[in-house]
């Protein structure tokens, strides 16, 4: 099945980032690349705007949340992200 024939996954993707974070820059690039394959969006949440999250996840940033559950951190693996998005197709 080609990507154009797939239905849109029902997943809510959020990435917690902080300023001047090289891992965050790489994670954002991965998010852009993979979500564009599925024609879905994602939301960036900055610790600048949410200091309580900066404290809670200080050692794990960037952090990927899918449907408000923490699913990955530090390095966002493209293959793993695809699998998690694909899981949204089946729900």
Gap between the Cα atoms of 28 and 35, Å rounded: 10
Residue 7 forms part of a structural domain? no
Give the domain range for residue 40.
Answer: 17-90
Residue 63 forms part of a structural domain? yes
Gap between the Cα atoms of 35 and 75, Å rounded: 16
Residue 1 forms part of a structural domain? no
Predicted confidence (pLDDT) per residue in 23-73, tens digit? 999 999 999 999 999 999 999 999 999 999 999 999 999 999 999 999 999
Domains held by the chain: number: 1
pLDDT at 89 over 60: no
Q: CATH number for the domain including 57?
A: 3.40.30.10
Average pLDDT over residues 80-90: 84
């Amino acid at each position: 099945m080609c990507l154009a024939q797939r239905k849109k996954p029902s997943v809510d993707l959020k990435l917690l980032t902080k300023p001047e974070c090289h891992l965050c820059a790489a994670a954002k690039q991965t998010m852009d690349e993979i979500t564009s394959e599925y024609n879905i969006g994602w939301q960036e949440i900055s610790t600048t705007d949410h200091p309580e999250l900066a404290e809670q996840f200080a050692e794990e940033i960037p952090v990927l949340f899918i449907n408000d559950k923490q699913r990955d951190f530090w390095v966002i693996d493209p293959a793993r992200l695809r699998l998690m998005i694909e899981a949204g197709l089946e729900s």
